[in-house]
Amino acid sequence: MGKPTGFMEYDRKKVTEKAPLARVKNFEEYTARLSDADLTTQGARCMDCGTPFCHMGIEIRGFAAGCPIQNVIPEWNDLVYHGQWQEALERLMMTNNFPEFTGRVCPAPCEGSCTLGINEPAVAIKSIEQSIIDKGFEMGWVQPRIPQQRTTKKIAIIGSGPAGLAAADELNQCGHHVTVFERDDRAGGLLMYGIPNMKLDKKIVERRIHLLQAEGIHFELNTAVGIDITADELKAQYDAVVLATGATKARELRMPGSEAQGVIPAMTYLHGVTKSLLDSNFEDERALNMKGKNVLVIGGGDTGADCVATAVRQGCQSVHQFGKHPALPVKRQQQQPWPADPQLYKLDYAYAEADAKFGGDPREYCIQTKKIVADEQGRVKELHTVQMNKIVNDEGYAYFEEIPGTEKVWPADYVFVAIGFEGTESALAQQFGVNVLNNRLYASGRDYATTVEGVFAAGDARRGPSLIVWAIKEGREVAAQVAKYLTETQALAQ
């Protein structure tokens, strides 16, 4: 806890955000850290709640509740309140391998489970977390932790997203030799190419990758396992293999006209923009440029919002985001009781920017795209939509009905498809002989082992599309199981 009466004395304070019309002129991070004085008072708001729910890390009716990696949040809140920043960093690093990532892009289910949040704005946990790690790097407290002893065991990790990196970090600290295979030209997975720079500066990702390299982890980039090196070769060269390839198989848009030129998966667009930014600051002109274009985004989630923000920065003429569900409520609903993290309406960064630029929230709710129409050259020119009513029957089953007379035609130069991910890509699983169930790699939730000896799976590839903090949790837990497996197999061999 912080100050015993702090929650009654201080108001919650948000991180400083650059003005929307100013920040859309570049791809720099749009937030700035609070001052140490402000962070001290924010830490003081952590109340003596008896049983903290912020770090319990469970799911309630499908909704996250608390921190999945069990960050000891009240402890480092109290340390920040007392100005003991280095000690706060030590507490934070006990449970979180990469707080500089979660402090920026995690939706903070911990705050939804904050006891103070029952009737007051929750403690600013996410802001405090990011500030602790950022100060740790600035002060030089974060240094390479090089294992004093090395084993003879070698582990291959496929995928350099948060699950793969967390597993690599943990196994390297055990003294094992760890190699991370990544098919892209930069490590980080979706941290690098799936999240725009204004939300997560890629210098932050690269800084962590360089630190892991300094600690002894080897990265093989531009290496597609299954093509550049086979599964059999990996199993022969390494004592264990961890599949942490994410859930990168995007759902396909199936409707008349979806094959038109200019209808593009959201991740293809975001990946290209970030790569062009990092490679040449856009001078190579390889990124799709939305300048002067009418942009439509199908899909109401965070990836769609990132497309909106990116298109606005590129100078689009208009942008709208279509979602099939109604607008979220502004207050916690009965079906999402505390301490579950409530799904509430908010004007996220992308929507605030589009609102400032075009004078309105770009989101369209309860809308269904009926067809996409192309011009004579096969390029998309317009979308046809209809508004929907969401109806919940007496048994709780929800369905949608079209509202007659609400048909509309939208001009479109580009359509970005952001309707989520089905799960993992199956080609690699087939080569390893790993079973796939419901588009997920089949691996035990107890020991993360697949049906193939010495091959493990973790992260979104195993559990399906999820939060970065769940990926870190799975990476930490699969590492513990791999370490146990290596110890057991070594004992059997002796």
pLDDT of 44 higher than 90: yes
pLDDT of residue 445: 81
pLDDT of residue 3 exceeding 80: yes
C-alpha–C-alpha distance, residues 311 and 289, integer Å? 8
Domain 252-419 architecture: 3-Layer(bba) Sandwich (3.50)
401 φ, ψ (degrees, to nearest 5): -125, 140
Lowest mean pLDDT among 15-24, 59-68, 411-420: 59-68
Which pLDDT does position 63 carry in this prediction? Answer: 77
The predicted model scores a pTM of 0.95
Cα separations (Å) of 302 from 190, 356, 363? Answer: 13, 19, 12
Residue 217 pairs in a beta bridge with: none
Give the pLDDT score at 489: 79
In this predicted structure, the answer to whether residue 336 has a pLDDT above a threshold of 90 is: no
Whether the domain at 6-138 and the domain at 252-419 fall into the same CATH topology: no
Give the pLDDT of residue 492: 66
Q: Which residues contact 107 (CB under 8 A, 6 or more apart)?
A: 341, 467
Confidence of residue 199 (pLDDT cuts 50, 70, 90): very high
pLDDT tens sequence across 93-142: 999 999 999 999 999 999 999 999 999 999 999 999 999 999 999 999 99
CATH class of 154-249+422-493: alpha beta
Domain positions in the chain = 6-138, 154-249+422-493, 252-419
Q: Collapse the DSSP code of 344 into the 3-class scheme (helix H, G, I; strand E, B; otherwise coil) and give the result.
A: coil
Structure tokens at 119: 């009737």
Best-predicted range by mean pLDDT (47-51, 179-183, 346-350): 179-183
Q: In this structure, are strands 294-298 and 318-322 parallel, antiparallel, or unpaired?
A: parallel
Q: Quick check: 38 pLDDT over 70?
A: yes
Tell me the C-alpha to C-alpha distance, in Å, between residue 347 and each of 315, 344, 446: 20, 10, 39
Pull the structure tokens for residue 53: 């729910």
What's the mean per-residue pLDDT of the chain? 95
Report pLDDT for 276: 98
**Residue 118 gets which letter from DSSP?**
G
CATH number at 6-138 = 1.10.1060.10
Rounded-to-integer distance, Cα 195 and Cα 105, Å: 9
